[in-house]
Amino acid sequence: MAIGPRRLLALDEVHQAVTFAWKDYAQGARRKTMTLGLGEFVRRFCLHLLPARFVKIRHFGFLSPRQRRKSVAQARALLGSGIPQPTPTPSPTVPAAAPEPEPAHTCPHCGSARLILIEILNPERGSPAVPCDSS
């Protein structure tokens, strides 16, 4: 749910404005209120809608963002394994051949060559799959 009914505080039909509550996490999660025109409110609301067939995944429990670092470290300690260390490769006695050329597309995070590039999309924020008419 993009915004719950408890956070909607007022609708000013004369000025065509909506007042709602929000948390300012930059200031220690202080609760604040904001008033926006209906058009801007609907535009911002539509930024939180997922395109058709997309599913939002929220991590909770030990994988929640607030607990992840501590609980994953604790799980590793309980399992008896620390942070995985790369295994050293033995040095060859015969001079190695020239290294193979790196594939054109590798994963920017893990370096895997299994990345198959299908299409590069330009990041466009605010263009949901379902049109959101604010007029």
In this prediction, residues 42-70 reach a mean pLDDT of: 85
Pairwise CA distance, residues 117 & 104, whole Å:
9
Residue 103: the pLDDT is 54
In this prediction, residues 50-69 reach a mean pLDDT of: 83
Contact (CB, 8 A) for 47 and 30: no
Q: DSSP strand E in 25-135: where?
A: 30-37
Q: Which pTM was predicted? A: 0.42
Pairwise CA distance, residues 91 & 120, whole Å:
39
Residue predicted with more confidence, 22 or 1: 22
Whether the per-residue pLDDT at 134 is higher than 60: the answer is no
Q: How confident is the model at residue 115 (pLDDT cuts 50, 70, 90)?
A: confident
Whether the per-residue pLDDT at 11 is higher than 70: the answer is yes
Q: How confident is the model at residue 59 (pLDDT cuts 50, 70, 90)?
A: confident
Exposure of 28 in the CB half-sphere (CA atoms within 13 A): 0
Residue 102: the pLDDT is 54
Tens digits of residue pLDDT in 65-99: 888 888 888 888 888 765 666 667 666 666 566 66
